[in-house]
Structure 1
Amino acid sequence: MLSRVANSIYWMSRYLERAENVARFIGVNLNLSLDMPGEYGEQWGPLVNITGDGELFAKRYGEPTRENVLHFLTFDRDNPNSILSCVRHARENARSVREIISSEMWEQANHFYLMVKDAAANKSSLKNPHDFYMAVKMESHLFDGITEATMSHGEAWHFLQMGELLERADKTSRILDVKYFILLPDEQVLGAAIDNIQWSALLKSASALEMYRKHSKQITPSKVAEFLLLNKDFPRSVQSCLRRAANSLRSITGSQQDDFSNVIEKRLGKLLADLNYTHIDEIISCGLHEFLDSLQTRLNQIDDAIFETYFTLRPLTGSSSHLT
């Protein structure tokens, strides 16, 4: 497979997953603004800081009002991580590999982009933001379903899976981090009714509340963190995402279980081993935010290794590589 093709497929899926997760991210605050009053429900400034775009936002908007933050994260063309920018980039990547993906996938990527573009042109689209952000999530789900049903599960599909799953793992960790940066202004609310509302909203943002209820009847911070980080069966948990990403990586490299042939497999395998042998009590005692910050750094290092191994153009040498 051409490195250009693998790169486009990988980033097509990452951008679509990112758009969906930005919608989920915003949904945390929107749900809380309905359920909780005052300082507990209306905090928009930290939202852009958690996405890593605080400096750009401050330069362009200044005041982190609800209207400014929603526009910046949703429709701002100059924000590379806005929903509009992500879906546009995904469509461009899909266009470049139309001969690889199915026609139904291309049509859905195009439809997704046009839906968001039309919403951006319609100033009234955010008057009922819940409907719009739900539509973004459903368009992303539809693309996933079409991909599963219409694309051959070969090498290209595994690159697509890696992109989607690594992006999902990263954003699940960031959604969990929201609790400590936005949803917990002071320690006085710990264990109170307000705290339960916050954790329920957090689980909803990851579409995890119903599955969590089947797993555990009581909502506690440690159990929620354990479910979103370490549960092996829930498809949006960090460990589940990384296990499936590792399976796709092995399908590309041909490596055996518990073996590695490149730095990607080494880094991903070590991270999975750490998660597999880590107990949630150890994570909490050492600091959940610190753990999540380290996790996000390691995910970035895995992404860097994927780029260096498969996507960068190098002079031809005597040794062969998997991608050309």
Structure 2
Amino acid sequence: MLSRVADAIYWMNRYIERADNYARFLDVNFNLSLDLPPDISEQWQPLVATTGDWELYKSLHSKPVKNKVIYFLGFDENNPNSILNTITSARENARSVRPDITKEIWQQINNLYYLVKDEKEKKRWQKNDPRSFFNEIKKGCQLLNGIFDTTLSRNEGWHFGKIGQLIERADKTSRVLDVKYHMLLPKLEEVGSPFDLIQWTALLKSVSAFDMYRKQYGKLTPFHISEFLILDDAFPRSILYCLDKAEKSLNVITGSTTGYSNKAEKQIGILKSQLEYADINDIFKTGLHEYLDNFQVKLNETSSAIFDTFFSIENALSIS
């Protein structure tokens, strides 16, 4: 497969996963704002911080208020990571590899593109409850993921798409967990309070983990929630699960059965192994924020290694 095609499919899936996550974050935070006690201010700034776009937001807006944050994360053309721009980018990547994907995939990406474009033009989200739009984006992205899995052969293109999706998912799970623990609870006396539990519940719902977590642990505790989202090997949005599946797809592409054959396999193998042998007690002793911050740095290095190995100009002749 040409590296240009692999790169486009990889980023098509990363962008769709990013749009899905942003819709999740916005939906849950909007619901949270309705449930907050009257003496608690709405917390929209941490939501922007979750996406990593806080500096850009500050350069465009004076305060993190609801309507401005929804516009910034949903429709702002100045934000390269807004839902509008990520779906547009996914569509452009899909267009560039139209012969390598199915008609069903192309049609669903088009549906998502016109959905968000129509919502921006008509500005319905300013007048009505925006949650219906967030739900449409989530359902549209989930439908696209299902179409991707059920209409493509398990060839290199499919595996590159899954790697893109899983790397993005691991990144967003780490960010939402980091922001909750590091930014949303400034006062020690609030730990375990009803407000604290509301926020942890919102965090789990933002990654569709609430039901599976309650089945496994029952009681909501920061310790077990962190363990579930970082180290669980069966939940499809946990960090360990994402890296494990991404590594398996990478091994299929390269044909490796043991060890590693390139920089990308080495980086993702090291990172996954560190998670496999991690203990949540040790993570909390060293500091959850510090651990997640270090993980995000290493995940960025893994993403760079994937680019250098498969998509850079030097490797643009072919992947196989």
Instruction: Check whether TM > 0.5.
Output: yes
Equivalent position of 2:93 in the other structure: 93
Q: Summarize the alignment of residues 143-154 of structure 1 with structure 2, pairs less than 5 Å apart.
A: 143-154=144-155
Quote the offset at 1:315 in angstroms.
8.0
The question of whether the paired residues in 1 share the 8 Å contact of 2:3 and 2:315 is answered with no
C-alpha distance in 2 between matches for 1:265 and 1:322: 17
Q: Runs in 1 of length 4+ with deviation above 3 angstroms?
A: 38-41
C-alpha distance in 2 between matches for 1:101 and 1:275: 33
Equivalent position of 2:188 in the other structure: 187
C-alpha distance in 2 between matches for 1:266 and 1:22: 30
CA shift in 2, pair 1:33/1:323, >3 Å = same
Q: TM-score, normalising length from structure 2?
A: 0.96
Quote the offset at 1:83 in angstroms.
0.5
Equivalent position of 1:36 in the other structure: 36
Residues 264-294 of structure 1, C-alpha deviations (whole Å, 9 max, x = no match) = 1111111111111111111111111111111
Equivalent position of 1:81 in the other structure: 81
Quote the offset at 1:48 in angstroms.
2.0
Q: Summarize the alignment of residues 144-183 of structure 1 with structure 2, pairs less than 5 Å apart.
A: 144-183=145-184
2:106 partner amino acid:
W
CA shift in 2, pair 1:315/1:146, >3 Å = closer
C-alpha distance in 1 between matches for 2:215 and 2:240: 19
C-alpha distance in 1 between matches for 2:39 and 2:76: 26
C-alpha distance in 1 between matches for 2:181 and 2:161: 31
Quote the offset at 1:207 in angstroms.
0.4
C-alpha distance in 1 between matches for 2:246 and 2:38: 41
2:299 partner amino acid:
L
Equivalent position SS for 2:99:
coil
Q: TM-score, normalising length from structure 1?
A: 0.95
Equivalent position of 1:323 in the other structure: 319
Q: Summarize the alignment of residues 43-122 of structure 1 with structure 2, pairs less than 5 Å apart.
A: 43-122=43-122
Deviates most, 52-61 or 169-178: 52-61
Equivalent position SS for 1:314:
helix
The question of whether the paired residues in 1 share the 8 Å contact of 2:46 and 2:184 is answered with no
Deviates most, 80-89 or 28-37: 28-37
1:201 partner amino acid:
A
The question of whether the paired residues in 2 share the 8 Å contact of 1:253 and 1:322 is answered with no
Quote the offset at 1:104 in angstroms.
0.2
CA shift in 2, pair 1:265/1:315, >3 Å = closer
Structure 2 gap segments, 5+ residues each: none
Aligned residues, how many? 319
Quote the offset at 1:39 in angstroms.
6.2
The percent identity for this pair of structures is: 50
Quote the offset at 1:182 in angstroms.
4.4
CA shift in 2, pair 1:175/1:105, >3 Å = same
Equivalent position of 1:254 in the other structure: 255
Equivalent position of 1:278 in the other structure: 278
C-alpha distance in 2 between matches for 1:112 and 1:157: 20
Deviates most, 181-190 or 234-243: 181-190
The question of whether the paired residues in 1 share the 8 Å contact of 2:51 and 2:172 is answered with no
Structure 1 gap segments, 5+ residues each: none
Deviates most, 150-159 or 32-41: 32-41
Equivalent position of 1:202 in the other structure: 203
Quote the offset at 1:38 in angstroms.
4.7
Are 1:264 and 2:264 counterparts?
Answer: yes
Equivalent position of 1:24 in the other structure: 24
1:87 partner amino acid:
I
CA shift in 2, pair 1:311/1:183, >3 Å = same
Quote the offset at 1:234 in angstroms.
0.4
CA shift in 2, pair 1:193/1:106, >3 Å = same
Provide the aligned C-alpha RMSD in A. Answer: 1.6
The question of whether the paired residues in 2 share the 8 Å contact of 1:29 and 1:41 is answered with no
The question of whether the paired residues in 1 share the 8 Å contact of 2:243 and 2:272 is answered with yes
